[in-house]
């Protein structure tokens, strides 16, 4: 399978990339790791006229310890996140989610920026960003802005990034008591459901993937957790959910998974 024809640009700076996106208009798309976009182009589910490959902009790569938070370049790959000792200790929810994405070859190409911009309803990293209450930097021809996680994900494959904006960096707070638990049935598969849990003293932030068009914050569970009650929180994890039914599982099955995985995630986060 071969994508439809397109023009290929390889800018060397974010400013050049944003300029190309603006001048090419709606027909242009950013190419990062290509592990969502190229499969869609091969299936002709996407047919951009121009690809703006940001893969050569090395300033977009890397994990920086900025004291109370981490600053992570958009091109940092899943393998880099999973292999980072820094994240493993101080932000295990991100490291563990990245370690479970796809397979080793996928993790060697796919990037954090691409995963967030893709906003796949079964993606792992959008839920992690929401649970961490993180934020991203978006840079376009008109300047730079910060988008908090709660404003980034708008629905099925949709974010609040403008077509000529580039997600350049991700900021997440340190969260040593945190983890990600996903459930699937086949090797290398996406989550049927997944839970990102971040525990901070008496409170917890919990976000679910695979149960809606975008990551869902489990607010009833968070309230029930107050003081450390993981079992009570897990019992409330499916409150208000309206998950899809598909070949991977029914809506009821996904509600069940939300409760079971929330318990596992909270117990692991508290223990960790």
Partner 1 sequence: MKSAVTMTVNGAPRTAEVEPRTLLVHLLREHLNLTGTHVGCDTSNCGACTVWLDDEAVKACTVLAVQAHGHEVTTIEGIAANGDLHPMQRAFHEHHGLQCGYCTPGMIMTAIKLVEAVPAPSDEEIRRGLEGNLCRCTGYENIVAAVRAASEVRV
Ligand X SMILES: Cc1cc2nc3c(=O)[nH]c(=O)nc-3n(C[C@H](O)[C@H](O)[C@H](O)COP(=O)(O)OP(=O)(O)OC[C@H]3O[C@@H](n4cnc5c(N)ncnc54)[C@H](O)[C@@H]3O)c2cc1C
Residues that bind partner 1 (CB under 8 A): 1-8, 10, 31, 34-35, 38-39, 41-43, 51, 53, 55, 79, 102-106, 108-109, 187-188
Question: Which of partner 1, ligand X, none does residue 30 bind to, with CB < 5 to 8 Å depending on kind?
Answer: ligand X
Query: Measuring CA to CA, how many Å separate 91 from each of 77, 98, 184, 272?
Result: 16, 11, 23, 11
H or E stretch at 178? strand 178-183
The rounded distance, in Å, linking the Cα atoms of 132 and 72 is 14
**Among residues 117, 149, 195, 199, which is the contact residue for ligand X, using CB under 6 A?**
117
Whole-angstrom distance, CA of residue 265 vs CA of residue 248: 21
Sequence-ordered list of residues with C-beta below 8 angstroms from that of 208, at least 6 positions apart, any chain: 127, 193, 194, 195, 196, 215, 216, 217, 218, 237, 241, 258, 262
- Angle, helices 92-99/125-132, rounded to nearest 10 degrees: 170
Distance between CA atoms of residues 40 and 3, nearest Å: 9
Task: Tell me whether residue 129 or residue 166 sits nearer to ligand X (CB atom).
Answer: 166
Contact region with ligand X (CB under 6 A), list: 25-33, 80-88, 147-155, 216-224? 25-33
CA distances for 63 relative to 82, 153, 207, 217, angstroms? 12, 23, 23, 26
Task: Indicate the residue among 37 and 130 with the shorter CB distance to partner 1.
Answer: 37
Residue 129 in the binding site for ligand X (CB under 6 A): no
Print the binding letters for residues 63-102 with ligand X: x by CB under 6 A, - otherwise: -----------x--------------------------xx
Nearer to partner 1, 66 or 187 (CB): 187
Count the site residues for ligand X by CB under 6 A.
Answer: 30
- Residue 190 found at the interface with ligand X (CB under 6 A): yes
Interaction between residue 32 and ligand X (CB under 6 A): yes
Q: Indicate the residue among 120 and 135 with the shorter CB distance to partner 1.
A: 120
Buried b (16+ CB within 10 A) or exposed e, 140-157: beeeeeebebeebbeeeb
Selection from 134, 127, 64 nearest residue 96 by Cα: 127
CB of 31 to partner 1, least distance (A): 8
Q: Does 207 bind ligand X (CB under 6 A)?
A: no
Using CB distances below 5 to 8 A depending on partner kind, what does residue 151 bind out of ligand X, partner 1, none? none
Nearest distance from C-beta of residue 245 to ligand X, angstroms: 20
Sheet holding 28-31, edge to edge: 7-9, 50-53, 28-31
**Of the candidates 11, 33, 243, 249, which one interacts with ligand X according to CB under 6 A?**
33
Contact 155, 229 (CB under 8 A): no
Which parts of this chain interact with ligand X (CB under 6 A)?
29-37, 39, 74, 101-102, 106, 110-111, 113-115, 117-118, 120, 123-125, 161, 166-167, 188, 190
């Amino acid at each position: 399978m071969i994508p439809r024809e397109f023009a290929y640009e390889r800018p060397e700076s974010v400013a050049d990339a944003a300029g190309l996106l603006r001048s090419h208009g709606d027909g242009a798309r950013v190419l990062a790791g290509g592990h969502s976009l190229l499969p869609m182009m091969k299936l002709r589910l996407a047919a951009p006229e121009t690809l703006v490959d940001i893969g050569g902009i090395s300033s977009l790569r890397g994990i920086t310890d900025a004291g109370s938070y981490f600053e992570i370049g958009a091109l940092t790959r899943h393998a880099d996140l999973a292999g980072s000792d820094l994240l493993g200790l101080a932000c295990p929810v991100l490291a563990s989610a990245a370690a479970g994405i796809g397979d080793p070859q996928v993790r060697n190409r796919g990037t954090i920026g691409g995963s967030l911009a893709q906003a796949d309803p079964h993606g792992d990293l959008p839920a992690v960003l929401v649970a961490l209450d993180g934020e991203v930097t978006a840079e376009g021809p008109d300047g730079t802005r910060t988008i908090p996680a709660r404003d980034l994900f708008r629905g099925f494959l949709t974010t609040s990034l403008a077509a000529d904006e580039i997600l350049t960096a991700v900021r997440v707070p340190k969260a040593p008591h945190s983890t990600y638990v996903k459930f699937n049935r086949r090797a290398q598969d996406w989550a049927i459901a997944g839970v990102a849990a971040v525990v901070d003293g008496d409170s917890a932030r919990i976000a679910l993937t695979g149960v809606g068009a975008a990551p869902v914050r489990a607010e009833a569970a968070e309230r029930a957790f107050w003081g450390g009650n993981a079992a009570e929180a897990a019992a409330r994890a499916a409150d208000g959910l309206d998950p899809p039914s598909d070949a991977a599982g029914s809506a009821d099955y996904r509600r069940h998974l939300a409760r079971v995985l929330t318990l596992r995630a909270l117990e692991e986060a508290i223990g960790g």
